Amino acid sequence: MPNFLRRNGLISRHVSVLLLAGMSYFVVAGISFPVLPRLVKQELNGGEFEIGLAFGVMGLGMLAMRPLVGFFADKYGRKHLIIAGAITIMTTQLLHVPAAKSGLWTLLLIRFILGLGSSAMYVGQATTATELPPSDRSGEIFSLFNVSVVAGFAVGPVVGEITLQKAGFTPAFAVAALFAFACLILGILLPETRPPEAKADFEGLKSLIHPVAVRAGVVSFLLFGAFLSFNAFITPFAESMGVSTVRWILLSYAGTSVITRLFGGRLIDTADRKVLGSCSHVIVIIGLLVLVIFNNHLSLYLGGIIMAIGLSFNVPLMVVIAADSTTPDQRSRVVATVIVFGDLANSFAAFGFGALAEIIGYRGMYAIVAAMVGFAAVLYRSRFTAPLTGIQRPN
């Protein structure tokens, strides 16, 4: 870890445990990117639509659970969610291959249950990341947490593809289960960060969906489509060009995200957030256009690297803006609300992208994603985000 983080007191023992827990969880998610599409193709004779369905139904599970876990985290604490989520994720990883052998609908059921556990896990971890001290550096802490997330995505595809090629599907998912077990142990070691004075009483829909955070969520939805379209579909896109090994493409994307968040995370607390967000949107659009315009092996690397730079700021920025726009006793519901829109992208966008890829091809799909990010850039600078007071910080 860079010395400047230690000198500034950013890395405490609890932060280190959280970062390792976050990385362990997202290694599991990263393993699925090269492994799940091949499982669907080889075991189920599925195509792009079925691949999108397998990824998307997990998002539906997340979406179904996310508002509830935000409320539960504010009422009962963050740590319980992390532990329950880890147990669910570990179990479902071991059931992927037997489920695929039973048929598509059985696999989709397991993926849906995985989404339920993942929802609990991520809300618990993400809320903890906004609450660990020092409190005046929430943007940098959350960006650092996202470094561990992307590090997991960097390691996961490499581990998944190598294990799959050497040993097969069952060992690949068993390795994913081991990382989920590590996440369980680390979650037990984390402190409970829920404020002692916090009270979360059920008051209808507003107890589950935070109205101000919805605005950050809409922008996040449009941006998350770029992340999802690259990570979920870069494997079949590369294979359509005759590229059989994709782990280095995913690794270059993830490595760029790690470096950008590690050294640029402080900008979320120090730079003009409107300018930072807008610049990030433009960078993501450029990366997507590289995929659209240039149809070769190099463009897969270049487009992914450019996108990674922009998304490295956009994803944590929207969560931190929403968290800074409300009070600490509502923070889990705020975080959960923003993430709900990521779940929407992860489910319905995955279905849509898979269908689009079959109809108009991958380059056409990425062109539509670029237009989505352009719309996000317009919303971000409009009156739509005015209630998000955190967008004005720092002063």
Per residue in 151-164, pLDDT (tens digit) is 787 788 889 989 99
Average pLDDT for residues 106-123, to the nearest whole number?
91
Higher pLDDT pick, 231 / 106: 106
User: What local confidence, expressed as pLDDT, does residue 203 receive?
Assistant: 58
> pLDDT band at residue 63, thresholds of 50, 70 and 90?
confident
User: What local confidence, expressed as pLDDT, does residue 395 receive?
Assistant: 46
Question: What residue spans of the chain are helical by DSSP H?
Answer: 3-7, 13-44, 48-76, 79-102, 104-131, 138-167, 169-189, 211-240, 247-264, 267-270, 273-293, 297-323, 331-344, 350-380
Q: What phi and psi values does residue 203 have, to the nearest 5 degrees?
A: -130, 40
CATH superfamily assigned to domain 8-192+206-392: MFS general substrate transporter like domains (1.20.1250.20)
User: What local confidence, expressed as pLDDT, does residue 207 receive?
Assistant: 58
Which residues have CB under 8 Å from 169's CB, separation 6+? 35, 38, 39, 42, 43, 96, 97, 100
User: What local confidence, expressed as pLDDT, does residue 11 receive?
Assistant: 66
> pLDDT band at residue 24, thresholds of 50, 70 and 90?
very high
Average pLDDT for residues 365-374, to the nearest whole number?
91
User: What local confidence, expressed as pLDDT, does residue 49 receive?
Assistant: 81
- Token pair in block for residue 222: 């449009």
Which residues have CB under 8 Å from 4's CB, separation 6+? none
> pLDDT band at residue 288, thresholds of 50, 70 and 90?
very high
Question: Does the structure show a pLDDT above 60 at 127?
Answer: yes
Question: Does the structure show a pLDDT above 70 at 2?
Answer: no
Average pLDDT, the chain: 82
Higher pLDDT pick, 28 / 344: 28
Question: Does the structure show a pLDDT above 60 at 365?
Answer: yes
Token pair 């803006």 is found at 321
- Token pair in block for residue 219: 């922008």
Which residues have CB under 8 Å from 255's CB, separation 6+? 154
Give the range with max mean pLDDT: 33-42, 237-246, 325-334: 33-42
Higher pLDDT pick, 382 / 245: 382
> pLDDT band at residue 7, thresholds of 50, 70 and 90?
very low
What percent of the chain clears pLDDT 70, i.e. is strictly above it?
Answer: 88
Average pLDDT for residues 138-153, to the nearest whole number?
73
What percent of the chain clears pLDDT 90, i.e. is strictly above it?
Answer: 26
Closest CA to 231 of 179, 159, 308, 284: 308
Question: Does the structure show a pLDDT above 90 at 305?
Answer: yes
Which residues have CB under 8 Å from 129's CB, separation 6+? 18, 22, 141, 142, 144, 145
User: What local confidence, expressed as pLDDT, does residue 191 receive?
Assistant: 83
Question: Does the structure show a pLDDT above 50 at 134?
Answer: yes
> pLDDT band at residue 5, thresholds of 50, 70 and 90?
very low
User: What local confidence, expressed as pLDDT, does residue 208 receive?
Assistant: 65
User: What secondary structure does DSSP assign to 187-209, as a single string?
Assistant: HHHSPP-S-TT-----BTBTTTS
Lowest mean pLDDT across 123-137, 288-302, 354-368:
123-137
Higher pLDDT pick, 164 / 327: 164
Give the range with max mean pLDDT: 203-207, 264-268, 322-326, 376-380: 376-380
Average pLDDT for residues 206-213, to the nearest whole number?
70
* Contact yes or no for 74/331 (Cβ under 8 A): yes
> pLDDT band at residue 136, thresholds of 50, 70 and 90?
low
Higher pLDDT pick, 322 / 278: 278
pLDDT, tens digit (0-9, with 9 covering 90-100), for 26-62: 899 889 888 998 999 888 888 878 887 888 888 788 8
Question: Does the structure show a pLDDT above 50 at 318?
Answer: yes
* Contact yes or no for 24/186 (Cβ under 8 A): yes
